[in-house]
Every structure is written in C-alpha cells, then in structure tokens.
C-alpha cells in the first residue's frame, strides 16, 4: 500500500513538474517575443533618426523627433517637419499631439 502511495506521489510530482516546465517555456517565449518587438522598435527609431539627419543635418532635433514621435508616425519630408512648414503636407497631417512634440523638439534643439 505504501508503494502505491509513493507511486501516486511520484506521478503527481512528475505531472506538476511537466506543467511548470510548460509554463516556464511559454513565459520564456513571451519574453523573447517582447524583446524582439523592442529591438524592432529601436531599429525603426534609429532608421527614422538617420533619415532625418540626412535630410536636415540637425542631429539634436532628429534625435528628439525619432525618440518622441510614435513609431507608427510616418514622415516623408523631415525638412517640412523640422521647419514646421504649416503648408507642408507632412507637418499639416500630424495630430495635434504630434505637432506639439515636433514643436517642442525644434524649440529645444535650436
């Protein structure tokens, strides 16, 4: 009878250990996916900063704009953004919040 109880206890331990291992693997996969997403966001910001610097030659403004504008904000003409060209297509299409970010970056960067 005691062998039977020991067998049941060992089975429960192995089953629960397997479930914990599965949870650990799932958690590791979630962390890995999150880290990949962060690297992708960093790469997008870096690319935007380089595009801005190549267009405007204003590193401080470009660093600010690249870091503070939302990642999904697409800019075709950084020159119109940095010059806050009210008639420019890109600046005019920014949301009020994004315009405030650009304005702050340009004011602080000059």
Has residue 20 got a pLDDT over 60? no
More confident residue, 70 or 109: 70
Confidence label for 11 from pLDDT (cuts 50, 70 and 90): low
Residue-level pLDDT at 39: 93
DSSP-derived letter for residue 88 is: S
Number of domains in the chain: 1
Confidence label for 73 from pLDDT (cuts 50, 70 and 90): confident
Are the CB atoms for 68 and 101 separated by under 8 Å?
Answer: yes
Q: Provide the domain limits for residue 101.
A: 2-109
Q: Is the dihedral of CA 8, 9, 10, 14 positive or negative?
A: positive
């Amino acid at each position: 009878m005691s062998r039977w109880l020991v067998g049941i206890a060992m089975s429960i331990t192995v089953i629960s250990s397997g479930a914990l291992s599965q949870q650990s693997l799932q958690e590791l996969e979630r962390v890995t996916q999150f880290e990949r997403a962060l690297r992708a966001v960093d790469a997008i910001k870096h690319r935007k900063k380089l595009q801005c610097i190549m267009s405007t030659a204003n590193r401080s403004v470009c660093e600010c704009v690249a870091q503070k504008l939302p990642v999904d904000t697409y800019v075709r003409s950084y020159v119109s953004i940095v010059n806050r060209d009210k008639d420019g297509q890109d600046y005019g299409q920014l949301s009020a919040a994004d315009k405030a970010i650009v304005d702050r970056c340009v004011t602080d960067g000059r």
